Structure 1
Amino acid sequence: MFEPGSFGFDLRPSELMERSDSEEAAYDAEHGPRFPVALRIRRVAQPDGGWLPVSAFDAASLGDPVPLFSVENVPADVVGLAVDYLTRVCSGSSARDAFRIPLAGAVLAGRADDGERLLSMVSGLSDRSVAAACRLCGYDAASRRGPSRWDPDRVPDPDYATLRNVRRMVGRSLRFIDLVGPVVWGGVHVRWRVYGSDHGRER
């Protein structure tokens, strides 16, 4: 990968590096261990009041006087992912890095071109960007749960209420970061070793 005289820098063309990253992300999503956080939490016993009781913390109100619409036409889990990933983009992460999991899902679902098309529209919090983010997050299931669990019809074009709610929740997240931040660590990658019948792979 590193050429003589490159001093440790990867001198491959950017298109080749991006394709390699996408292939690795797709492999990881398909072969990596899948253990939902919610399932893990249910298996861990906690003492009465939890490990960190609420009484140990001070409450700080970050209320928003503008309420959210009560009904959205996009599944709540997809909306939550869109808010998460768009907050990362608005905080300085590249869209490709923030949306790397659904991009890998698009590859697994055989819709890599659509994933790239949607990614190219993610920029800021315009209606076009938020709508593309929601549609792109629909591929998250293919990455986390396998392409067989991906439903191409599950995420419709977001309506006005959904677009506004996503924008508002991203704004709330950014305000929270401004008040208690800055973000000091992000983009955590879990590394594992996977053994197949004919190969081993370490990440």
Structure 2
Amino acid sequence: MVKQPYGGYLNKKQFDVTAIDDGEILNEVENIHASLIGLAVDYLTRFMIGTSVEEAFKISLKGALCLDSFLNNASRKKGLALKNANKLLKGIKGLDDESVSNVCKLVGYDVCFRAGIMGYKPVEEINPDSNTIGNILIMVKRSLAFWKEYGPIIKEGFTFEGGYTDIVSWGDGDYLTKDTLWDFKVSKEEPKSKYTLQLLMYYCMGCHSIHPEFKKIDKLGIFNPRKNKVYVANISSISSEIIEKVSQEVIGYK
């Protein structure tokens, strides 16, 4: 919704780009929504690096709880979403086709928590085909290889307590390493200005939050496992005027 200057507050030209070649080629056609694929890759990666399955899919579980609450309050049939979500959760074991199918269904509950019930599509209708499952597996493996090179992770799936405002009252970041704030995207395109602004907002909000780890962050990074590219920008390359403008006019700090 924010109107940005030409090229964006954080121009993609400020990022150094590294392309990684793993010899894998993704299938061109997928049969579920790109947003679900992004969540599936993100959460399954978190699970595979050692995060508990309950923690990795906590937003999905919260979404199922929201759906149950809505159904109960609307005097409709008793909500069974959380029960189904936990059943799907138990079916996530690792990098196999059945686990990926369960992941794709489970992340279908996310929208209920993030955006509201109106955006919900019955998870029973989410049935990834073999091409889609294959792509997700390749992207998760790329993400795991990325972390071997750019890790270790010191914080993941974090929120910004102390950094929210009346304008930006919710939001969660992806990953922190010792010196870099990372965001994962599975877009088929190069980073858009709305993505780089989101990353800069996360940094500003992190600096205002209760998390001391942000004091040591000096780089902003994007990893796109679909394109298998790494984008890194030095915070020192961002003018103080831009950071102040985003902090005040976009996020709403006084």
For the aligned pair, the TM-score class normalised by the smaller chain equals 0.5 to 0.7
Instruction: List aligned pairs for 1:163-182, cutoff 5 A.
Output: 163-182=133-152
**What are structure 1's unaligned runs of at least 5 residues?**
1-41, 195-203
Instruction: List aligned pairs for 1:1-203, cutoff 5 A.
Output: 42-46=1-5, 48-110=6-68, 111-152=81-122, 155-191=125-161
More displaced stretch, 145-154 vs 77-86:
145-154
Identity %: 37
Deviations 1:112-166 (A, max 9, x none): 1001000111121111111100000111111111123212168422111111110
Alpha-carbon distance in structure 2 between the residues aligned to 1:44 and 1:185: 31
Instruction: Give the corresponding residue for 1:33.
Output: none
The amino acid that maps onto 1:87 is T
Q: Name the count of aligned residue pairs.
A: 152
1:187 Cα deviation after fit? 2.5
Alpha-carbon distance in structure 2 between the residues aligned to 1:119 and 1:190: 27
Alpha-carbon distance in structure 2 between the residues aligned to 1:135 and 1:127: 13
Tell me the TM-score normalised to structure 1 length. 0.67
CA contact (8 A) 1:86 1:170 kept: yes
Task: Indicate the SS of the match to 2:156.
Answer: coil
Distance verdict in 2 for CA 1:59–1:193, change over 3 Å: closer
1:63 Cα deviation after fit? 2.1
The amino acid that maps onto 1:66 is E
Alpha-carbon distance in structure 2 between the residues aligned to 1:62 and 1:178: 13
**What are structure 2's unaligned runs of at least 5 residues?**
69-80, 167-254
Tell me the TM-score normalised to structure 2 length. 0.54
Q: Considering only aligned residues, what root-mean-square deviation do their CA atoms show, in Å? A: 2.3
The amino acid that maps onto 2:17 is A
1:74 Cα deviation after fit? 1.3
Greater C-alpha Rg: 1
Distance verdict in 2 for CA 1:180–1:153, change over 3 Å: closer
The amino acid that maps onto 1:171 is K
Alpha-carbon distance in structure 2 between the residues aligned to 1:193 and 1:44: 19
Instruction: Give the corresponding residue for 2:248.
Output: none
1:51 Cα deviation after fit? 4.4
Distance verdict in 2 for CA 1:89–1:140, change over 3 Å: same
1:85 Cα deviation after fit? 0.3
Distance verdict in 2 for CA 1:154–1:121, change over 3 Å: closer
CA contact (8 A) 1:134 1:155 kept: no
Alpha-carbon distance in structure 2 between the residues aligned to 1:165 and 1:70: 9
Task: Indicate the SS of the match to 1:109.
Answer: helix
Q: 1 or 2, which has the higher strand percentage?
A: 2
